[in-house]
Structure 1
Amino acid sequence: MLTLRNVDIHYGRVHAVRRVSLHVAPGEIVALIGANGAGKTTLLSAISGVQRVSGGEVVFDGRAIAGEKPEKIVRLGLSQVPERRLVFGPLSVEDNLLLGAYTRFRRRQVAADMEEVYAMFPVLFDRRQQQAAALSGGEQQMLAIGRALMARPRCLLLDEPGMGLAPQVCKEIFRHVVALRREKGLTVLLVEQNAKSALAVADRGYVLETGRVLLSGTAEELLANRDVRRAYLGREKDV
């Protein structure tokens, strides 16, 4: 469903991403792990059209999308949940969700999808008229995911969904990610600094280091890899 071929991204003279190639098959959860500054968020921003690609190809469902406007990419079926959630704090929870459906025009379908989001995250229904800024970090993450789902994506880009959240809340968020794949067939590209949490729910993964793909493999292979354990799982010795 999503393929990157030799993608390069520059910030001025800084070569932030270097000839990255990866793919995500329909219905897969693929994790992209790496340290801060590895280029993970930059790569997601390039896929969603927010960041310009300076070389290579980005192909979504057989269509080249590098250079397309973000709103067009959303209409094609690809939505991003940004790092640090970026909800619209002064607006209500309900208005945040409605903004996620801004490319859609069938009000009945939008209303039905909002009900599905509320069923998935009941706390959002309870607080639907509250300002988003008043929500806890975990609730804001639920809102950010719900807002992305309102665009009816076929592929979801999740950027650090566990950032700043308590471990139990983080586990709940990842349970919902797995349920979305199981129940809706959603394809997910997941960026997460917590490699253990990401690989626990992913089918496959890529390790990004200083803008390059260093390793790739199944989640089990990466979890068993000695270098990955030392660098990202906090294990100095084999267990």
Structure 2
Amino acid sequence: MIGKIHSFESFGTVDGPGIRFVIFMQGCKFRCLYCHNPDTFDLGAASFMLSPEQVFGKMEKFKVFYKKGGVTISGGEPLLQPTFIKEFFKLCKAERIHTAIDTGGGCLTDEVKAALTYTDMVLLDVKCIDPDIHKSLTGQPLQPTLDFAEYLSEQGISVWIRYVLVPGITDRDDLIEKHADYVSSLKNVEKVEILPFHKLALSKYEKLGIEYALKDTEPPTAERIENAKNIYKNRGIKVN
């Protein structure tokens, strides 16, 4: 089993609890307008082709740092390669290393379910709760992500929900309120992370020759970020 991998980060601090070894997988079927990793879209453009054992070897020399953190598989969309994840996470669990997946939750195959049996936490992007806006924002339907979220809830897998606050698209109070109501219906959400929109990846789009649809959109104000946080807090949901 070979994984198609874009890159690694040895000391991640924003991809789950503690210090994390982060693996960015190649390939994604989402086309989020604000994606900061457009260079991961093409499954055939991997920087590395490695086995689970080879990736574990890269991490192993640093594993003392991950005893109070763990490993996170991100992307791209990591669940396009579920069998690699399962085999790699087996190695991690044998060493009692905490495992997490950062995903848009767009697929729930038997192979994905098998990978989730070795997964301690999921960082789940529920990008917008309105189906039409979700489709225009991501290029993908909303329902598979909701099905995925509800499966995690049924299985009792810990979840952090991520919500990117994009002015003019996802920062409307009614959308945030509906999103918060949905999150509060799930049984396993530890917290919500509000991620303010930014344009740090603009140079990547220019290099790849991809139009950046949100180039004229400004980041949300501190007031709008605080407003969003309060909507979740008012429903008893912990927010970053």
Higher strand share: 1
TM-score by structure 1 length?
A: 0.35
